[in-house]
């Protein structure tokens, strides 16, 4: 039996959930507030990191741990990728400045910002940007962003251009397919993926939201389960959908308590809990009174399926220490 419960929140624009198996906690961000959260569902402990913004903006759009350094996190800070230090024994609320900025991008589009990010099977960091967003969620300056790959040697490469709103990322367990969402194409796409080099090729559509009758839902964050099926958060849609990419069809839908669902990840001791973030952004006061759990973080159990362990950023400690010095 499927069960949904709120485990944290509310926040204004929750995003980027990442399960930390070593410490059995959930990392996620509040983008517009510039905050990172660390939630321990088993104990209800909750820590809150305020990251001071830099010259490329103050939004914090993603958070990913650095492998072998549990006190270091990589975050999207405006148009920059930065490293912050957050010890596990830190106070429940802490304000920090970045230890260093690894890269800044999109200088020719200064109102852009980073959005979703994830690490591939080899530990490279993939992060995409989006155009300027106005007062209405999902309405952005089109085709101004890109999808970037940061290698374990910290070199950066733009892999996909003319992105409007970069979002969900996932890799197949055989390391041959990369799944990707540019939200404003209203589709979930696939690429051939070369794990040795990180190169992409042969972009094609897995699911067309308009053809599937899902619009006005907007595809947002995404993760993959052990069966190779994709779980996609539907902003505006109050649900998470499960897609079988081998046939390009929706095989399951799970309704959530929040209309603006933003992202998903697998977690828990056996990776059988689907964690879901949501947003209050764009909801009127009247709507918020009705949908009182908007902006919450939810745990969905009883789905009968398990996810895959997450991957951390596998940069060498020596190289990172040199950049932070």
The better pLDDT of the pair 138, 190 is held by: 190
Give me the pLDDT at residue 138, please: 73
What lies within 8 Å, CB to CB, of 249 at 6+ separation is: 207, 212, 243
Taking residues 265-270, what's their average pLDDT? Answer: 97
Length of the chain: 325
Task: Give the separation between CA 284 and CA 281, rounded to whole angstroms.
Answer: 9
Predicted confidence at residue 136, as pLDDT, reads: 72
| Residue 325 reports pLDDT greater than 90 | no
Across 243-247, average pLDDT: 98
pLDDT for residue 316: 86
**Is 153 annotated in the active site?**
no
Q: In the chain, which ranges are continuous DSSP H helix?
A: 285-290, 317-324
pTM over 0.95: yes
Tens digit of each residue's pLDDT (9 = 90 or more) over 287-305: 999 999 999 999 999 999 9
Question: Which residue among the candidates 30, 116, 220, 272 is catalytic per the annotation?
Answer: 220
DSSP calls for 8-64: E---SBEEEEEEETTTTEEEEEETTTTEEEEEETTTTEEEEEEEPPBTTBS-EEEEE
Q: Looking at domain 3-324, which CATH architecture does it have?
A: 6 Propeller (2.120)
């Amino acid at each position: 039996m499927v069960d949904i419960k709120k485990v944290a929140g509310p926040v204004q624009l929750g995003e980027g959930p990442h399960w930390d198996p070593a410490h059995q906690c959930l990392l996620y961000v509040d983008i517009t507030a510039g905050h990172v959260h660390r939630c321990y569902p088993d104990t209800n402990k909750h820590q809150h990191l305020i990251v001071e913004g830099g010259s490329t903006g103050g939004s914090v759009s993603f958070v990913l741990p650095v492998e072998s350094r549990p006190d270091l996190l990589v975050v999207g800070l405006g148009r920059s990728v930065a490293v912050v230090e957050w010890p596990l024994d830190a106070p429940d609320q802490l304000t920090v400045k970045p230890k260093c900025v690894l890269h800044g991008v999109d200088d020719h589009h200064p109102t852009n910002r980073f959005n979703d990010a994830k690490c591939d099977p080899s530990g490279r960091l993939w992060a995409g940007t989006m155009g300027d967003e106005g007062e209405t969620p999902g309405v952005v300056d089109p085709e101004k962003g890109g999808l970037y790959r940061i290698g374990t040697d910290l070199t950066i490469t733009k892999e996909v251009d003319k992105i409007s709103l970069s979002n969900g990322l996932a890799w197949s367990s055989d390391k041959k397919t990369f799944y990707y969402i540019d939200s404003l194409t209203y589709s979930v796409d696939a690429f051939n993926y070369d794990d040795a080099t990180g190169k992409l090729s042969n972009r094609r559509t897995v699911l067309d939201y308009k053809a599937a009758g899902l619009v006005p839902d907007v595809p947002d964050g995404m993760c993959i389960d052990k069966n190779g099926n994709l779980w996609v958060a539907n902003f505006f849609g109050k649900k998470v959908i499960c897609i079988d990419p081998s046939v390009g069809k929706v095989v399951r839908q799970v309704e959530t308590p929040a209309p603006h669902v933003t992202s998903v990840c697998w977690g828990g001791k056996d990776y059988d809990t689907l964690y879901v973030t949501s947003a209050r952004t764009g909801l009127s006061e009247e709507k918020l009174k009705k949908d009182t759990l908007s902006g919450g973080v939810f745990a969905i159990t009883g789905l009968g399926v398990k996810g895959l362990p997450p991957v951390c950023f596998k940069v060498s400690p020596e190289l990172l220490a040199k950049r932070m010095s």
